């Protein structure tokens, strides 16, 4: 179905931060398949883990124990606020599980009327019926029948609006600590702390969507760590599978108290192939020094991008982001900028608010950052020449 506006490009293979097209052209991948290829392409440790598991067993269903999943869940819990994990196959499914968990928590505790979540403008939570309602973007909701009930959207970062939106039916607050699709917009740490306080004061669950920001993308294992607060529930996907479809819903034991045998499920979720790759991703991301290096590369990239913004004030307005989730706010349509960069063989991803995202694999080197900047300069100069000629 033609639901994607695809670029006329196909890649044959990848190596680290590079993608090689059918004609042999080498593209520097600063899109990472939309923040998915956390360890780049064909990372030897991930390839080895997948091959080894493929030769053992692919799928057994959740009728049986899956030791790799038990291990991955335990490691995720040890590295986070969580006590329990549900595995699924995508971000939207991780959000569906989080939304259902929040509703079930209150139903389980005798308050079934509390099913509503407060969400924020600019949010993106996926493309299922519930997650388009949670995201609140009209262009995704229109034409798909009645909008799923249970989401109250307030302006981005507006704490007074959050307080005003709380009613007898409110179950929690759902927030991306840093909006990715929404335009690389970070919730200030003080606002995250205030949201935690509001949730505590009103017996609400704080649910964070870290599908894009999680697993090292912002220089911390999870982006909420920048604010020092812990959520009750967290959705993960994208980077946690390094390119293998994998999502997860993490929660405290208390928040997940309604999630008893039979109330939720998934056929594929947490299958042995996905669990092997998820564990292999964690092996690398949890290595001492890995996250520090992501922070360092993120800082360097931001500094270099600030220089690029300064030298192209007619095309670019500012640089934003945290760690290796960075964005350039454009003064011309972001699609034109991303197109010009693609012509210069630098892959990026558009975002809302007229932003172009630069989200390289977390293993990017300083030399690759410099190469990206020189391709950026080349692409932007071409764009300037083109507009001068018009
Ligand atoms: C990508 C994304 C999703 C949806 O993930 P899918 O795997 O496409 O379903 C949800 N939330 C955020 C923050 C995302 O970036």
Is the pTM value of this prediction over 0.85?
A: yes
**Which of 32, 91, 274 gets mutated to test ligand 1 (max ligand atoms within 8 A of its CB)?**
91
Domain boundary among 285, 315, 340: 285
Asked if the model's pLDDT at residue 292 lies above 80, the reply is yes
Q: Which residue has the tokens 């007619």?
A: 314
Asked if the model's pLDDT at residue 387 lies above 90, the reply is no
**Percent of the chain topping pLDDT 70:** 100
Domain identity same for 123 and 258: yes
pLDDT digits (tens, 9 = 90+) for 243-254: 999 999 999 999
Domain identity same for 145 and 247: yes
Distance CA 60, CA 66 (A): 8
Closest atom of ligand 1 relative to the 181 alpha carbon: 15
Tell me which residue of 325, 348, 320, 120 sits closest to 220, measured CA to CA.
325
92 is in an annotated binding site: yes
Q: Is 245 in the pocket of ligand 1 (CB under 6 A)?
A: no
Q: Is 89 in the pocket of ligand 1 (CB under 6 A)?
A: no
Domain identity same for 205 and 281: yes
Distance CA 183, CA 181 (A): 5
pLDDT digits (tens, 9 = 90+) for 154-204: 999 999 999 999 999 999 999 999 999 999 999 999 999 999 999 999 999
Domain identity same for 278 and 317: no
Asked if the model's pLDDT at residue 212 lies above 80, the reply is yes
127 is in an annotated binding site: yes
Quote the tokens at residue 315: 């095309």
**CATH code of the domain containing 318:** 3.90.1150.10
What pLDDT, on the 0 to 100 scale, is given for residue 86?
Answer: 98
The rounded Å distance from CA 207 to ligand 1 centre is 14
pLDDT digits (tens, 9 = 90+) for 259-287: 999 999 999 999 999 999 999 999 999 99
**CATH code of the domain containing 181:** 3.40.640.10
Domain identity same for 246 and 307: no
The domain total for the chain is 2
Domain boundary among 285, 303, 334: 285
Q: Residue 247: which domain range?
A: 44-285
| Confidence at 72, pLDDT banded by 50, 70, 90 | very high
Burial 221-237 (b: 16+ CB within 10 A, else e): bbbbbbbebbbbbbbbb
Domain identity same for 208 and 327: no
Q: Flag whether 382 is in a domain.
A: yes
Domain identity same for 102 and 216: yes
Q: Is 210 in the pocket of ligand 1 (CB under 6 A)?
A: no
Domain identity same for 337 and 203: no
Domain identity same for 221 and 268: yes
Domain identity same for 264 and 383: no
Domain identity same for 224 and 254: yes
Domain identity same for 269 and 331: no
Distance CA 196, CA 81 (A): 14
Closest atom of ligand 1 relative to the 34 alpha carbon: 1
């Amino acid at each position: 179905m033609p639901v994607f506006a695809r670029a006329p490009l196909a890649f044959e293979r990848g190596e680290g931060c590079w993608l090689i097209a059918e004609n042999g052209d080498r593209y520097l991948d600063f899109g990472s398949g939309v923040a998915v290829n956390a360890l780049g392409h064909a990372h030897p440790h991930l390839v080895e883990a997948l091959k080894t598991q493929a030769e053992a067993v692919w799928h057994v269903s959740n009728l049986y124990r899956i030791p790799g999943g038990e291990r991955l869940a335990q490691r995720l819990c040890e590295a986070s606020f969580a006590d329990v994990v549900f595995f699924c196959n995508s971000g939207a499914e991780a959000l569906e599980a989080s939304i259902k968990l929040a509703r079930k928590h209150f139903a389980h505790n005798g308050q079934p009327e509390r099913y509503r979540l407060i969400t924020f403008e600019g949010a993106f939570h996926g493309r299922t019926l519930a997650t388009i309602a949670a995201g609140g973007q009209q262009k995704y909701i229109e034409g798909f029948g009645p909008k799923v009930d249970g989401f109250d959207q307030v302006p981005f970062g507006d704490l007074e609006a959050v307080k005003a939106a709380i009613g007898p039916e409110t179950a929690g607050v759902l927030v991306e600590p840093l909006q990715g699709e929404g335009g690389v917009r970070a919730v200030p740490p003080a606002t995250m702390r205030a949201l935690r306080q509001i949730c505590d004061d009103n017996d609400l669950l704080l649910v964070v969507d870290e599908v894009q920001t999680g697993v090292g993308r912002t220089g911390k294992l999870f982006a909420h760590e920048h604010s020092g607060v812990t959520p009750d529930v967290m959705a993960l996907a994208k980077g946690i599978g390094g390119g293998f479809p994998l999502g997860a819903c993490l929660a405290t034991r208390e928040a997940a108290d309604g999630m008893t045998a039979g109330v939720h499920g998934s056929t594929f979720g947490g299958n042995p192939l996905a669990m092997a790759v998820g564990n292999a991703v964690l092996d690398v991301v949890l290595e001492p020094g890995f996250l520090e290096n992501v922070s360092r590369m993120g800082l360097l990239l931001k500094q270099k991008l600030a220089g690029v913004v300064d030298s192209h004030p007619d095309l670019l307005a500012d640089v934003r982001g945290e760690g290796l989730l960075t964005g350039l706010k454009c003064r011309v349509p972001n699609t034109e900028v991303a197109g010009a960069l693609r012509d210069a063989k630098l892959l990026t991803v558009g975002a809302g608010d007229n932003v172009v995202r630069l989200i390289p694999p977390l293993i990017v080197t300083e030399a690759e950052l410099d190469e990206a900047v020189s391709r950026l300069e080349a692409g932007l100069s071409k764009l300037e020449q083109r507009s001068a000629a018009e």
